[in-house]
Amino acid sequence: MRQLRSNGLALVLAVLALLLVGAAPAIAAPPQPHHFVTRPDLSPPMVQMETPANGTEPGYIFLAPHGTAAQSGPMIIDDTGQPVWFQPVGDGAGLFTMDFKAQTYQGKPVLTWWQGAPHPGYGEGEYVVYDQSYQQIATVRAGNGLRADLHEMVITPRDTALIIAYHTVQLDRPVVEGVVQEIDIATGAVLFDWHSLDHVGLEESTVPPPEDPAAPYDYIHLNSITEDAAGNLLISARHTDALYQLDRATGGVQWRLGGNRSDFAVAPEAVFARQHDARWLPNGTMSLFDNAASEPGPASRALVLSVDQQARTVGLVRAASHPGGATSVSQGNHQVLPGGHSFVGWGSQPQFTEFDQSGAVLLHGSFGDGMPSYRAFRLPWTATPTDQPVAVLSATTVYASWNGATEVRGWRILAGAAPDQLRPITDTPRSGFETTVQLPGPEAFAAVEALDAGGQVIARSEPVPAG
């Protein structure tokens, strides 16, 4: 009978201490934090667009940088690198966020992310769900005594969540198994509970066990889940260099792709290692992030693979390598966009890239050494916060911002001798997260109105005195 070892989590810290620490990224400089007059409480890392956007697909860029050089937390930016929305969470070390993206819940767009305590290689925490006014509407927790891992949460069309958890059990030695659960978001009920040790043996691991027999052995290391049309699950396991197709009804492994027990003949150019983020695409191909190695070596790649489940063959449709030839020794993702472009987060390399279908770089951004984002996405998002815009009047300068408001295209500046005597001074286009406007002369009070694309007022700030 397998039992949870009481000191397993502490031992995981020791044995996995290097799993999420890779080679130094290509960028030497640490990230620089933003400083905003209107929101001094916000200091996310600045994002540099090393290759400016040219022909990119629509949508904002979703990141969750974590570290201590700037504030950590979920962040949405535009194609110039300017923040659209940012929410600081935790301290970037003992508590932070990962897997930030937009999904659909109860028929409406939502934001989701993991937050919790990091362990080397995995995490213990929970997922949160925010609506289009940035209000939390749900929390997703693992069931049966486990805590949600940081790698994955996918909301299904059934308003359930597919999540991963890590579980240390005592065999001849402590072993960390991967757990996949389906959770009913509204009730928290566990609808599906799969444990790797029941289906995948230790002999499939391509990672040797620790020399210390008391140290837990993270033999499989799950990092992504996706459903096919029949409801069966495709999971990615980093420490077996393999993908597994699971039968939803029985939990049995239908086939293995990659690793030392592969059921497929994989073309040499399609071979991957230490991979993340396996997804079925609508045309039956598969996208994948190929980390390429657990040590610095070949450049990491974004792959699209042809997978013939009848003939059991795998070929390469296309590949896009890191523009600088770097290896992402941990983390990373590959999102195939609706128009066919590839949007890639480079994981341990704090960078992201958009490629066209020929592999040309359309955008490449970075946010500094030592503050990576587990994944990066390009996704549609519209939102109107419940709070008001913020104005600051300093001498003859007005500053305006509204964290998270996606429909603001301009600002109307109001000023006057008293809060009830404000008059329109000028209209100006929105310019980044915080817009700065010079007044013709000194004013005692000012306010700002957020304008949409048609010039209509969306919301108004409180009047503020000159300071």
Helix (H, G, I), strand (E, B) or coil at 162: strand
Q: DSSP class of residue 293?
A: -
Tell me the sheet residues that pair with 245. Answer: 234, 255
**Residue 22 pLDDT > 60, yes or no?**
no
pLDDT (average), residues 59-66:
97
Cα torsion through 362, 409, 381, 401, rounded to 10: 110
**Measured between alpha carbons, how far is 321 from 299 in angstroms, rounded to an integer?**
6
Answering whether pTM is above 0.85, one says yes
Strand 301-308, strand 313-321: pairing = antiparallel
Which pLDDT score, from 0 to 100, does residue 466 have?
A: 96
Which pLDDT score, from 0 to 100, does residue 294 have?
A: 57
Q: DSSP class of residue 274?
A: S
Q: Tell me the average pLDDT of the chain.
A: 92
In this structure, how many other beta carbons lie within 10 angstroms of the beta carbon of residue 416? 17
pLDDT, tens digit, 9 for 90 and up, residues 275-287: 999 999 999 999 9
Which pLDDT score, from 0 to 100, does residue 121 have?
A: 85
pLDDT (average), residues 203-225:
97
Decide: 310 and 262 in contact? Cβ < 8 Å: no
- Of 23-37, 210-224, 372-386, 433-447, least confident by mean pLDDT is 23-37
Which pLDDT score, from 0 to 100, does residue 63 have?
A: 98
Q: Which run of H or E residues covers position 224?
A: strand 222-227
**Measured between alpha carbons, how far is 176 from 27 in angstroms, rounded to an integer?**
34
In this structure, how many other beta carbons lie within 10 angstroms of the beta carbon of residue 450? 24
pLDDT, tens digit, 9 for 90 and up, residues 139-157: 999 999 999 999 999 999 9
Decide: 327 and 309 in contact? Cβ < 8 Å: no
Q: Which of 246, 331, 231 lies closest to 290 in space, CA to CA?
A: 331
The DSSP string of 409-431 is -EEEEEEESSTT--EEEEEEE--
Q: Which residue has the tokens 């508590």?
A: 95
State what percent of residues in the chain have pLDDT above 90: 89
**Measured between alpha carbons, how far is 228 from 271 in angstroms, rounded to an integer?**
22
The domains of the chain, with CATH numbers, are: 3-379 (2.120.10.30), 390-465 (2.60.40.10)
**Residue 20 pLDDT > 70, yes or no?**
no
Which pLDDT score, from 0 to 100, does residue 295 have?
A: 59
Q: DSSP class of residue 12?
A: H
Decide: 220 and 196 in contact? Cβ < 8 Å: yes
**Residue 59 pLDDT > 80, yes or no?**
yes
Decide: 450 and 457 in contact? Cβ < 8 Å: yes
Q: Which of 213, 205, 234, 238 lies closest to 347 in space, CA to CA?
A: 238
Q: Which run of H or E residues covers position 395?
A: none
More confident residue, 22 or 196: 196
**Residue 91 pLDDT > 60, yes or no?**
yes
pLDDT (average), residues 231-250:
97
> Residue 31: pLDDT band by 50, 70, 90 thresholds?
confident
Length of the chain: 467
Tell me the sheet residues that pair with 276. Answer: 289
Q: Which run of H or E residues covers position 97?
A: strand 96-105
pLDDT, tens digit, 9 for 90 and up, residues 159-169: 999 999 999 99
**Residue 447 pLDDT > 60, yes or no?**
yes
Decide: 108 and 164 in contact? Cβ < 8 Å: no
pLDDT, tens digit, 9 for 90 and up, residues 106-122: 999 999 999 999 887 89
State what percent of residues in the chain have pLDDT above 70: 93
pLDDT (average), residues 194-218:
97
In this structure, how many other beta carbons lie within 10 angstroms of the beta carbon of residue 137? 14
In this structure, how many other beta carbons lie within 10 angstroms of the beta carbon of residue 104? 12
Q: DSSP class of residue 387?
A: S
Q: DSSP class of residue 275?
A: -
317 dihedral zone (left: phi>0; alpha: psi -120 to 50; beta): alpha
- Of 20-29, 136-145, 188-197, 301-310, least confident by mean pLDDT is 20-29
Which pLDDT score, from 0 to 100, does residue 29 have?
A: 78
Q: Which run of H or E residues covers position 351?
A: strand 351-355
Decide: 375 and 236 in contact? Cβ < 8 Å: no
**Residue 312 pLDDT > 80, yes or no?**
yes
Residues with Cβ < 8 Å from 309, sequence gap 6 or more? 255
More confident residue, 20 or 291: 291
Supply angle C-alpha 132, 133, 135, rounded to 5: 105
**Measured between alpha carbons, how far is 217 from 236 in angstroms, rounded to an integer?**
18
The DSSP string of 14-72 is HHTTTTT--SPPS--SPPPBP--SS-TT--PBP-EEEE--SSPPSSEEEE---SSSS--
Tell me the sheet residues that pair with 286. Answer: 280, 305
Q: Which run of H or E residues covers position 305?
A: strand 301-308
Strand 286-290, strand 301-308: pairing = antiparallel
> Residue 28: pLDDT band by 50, 70, 90 thresholds?
low
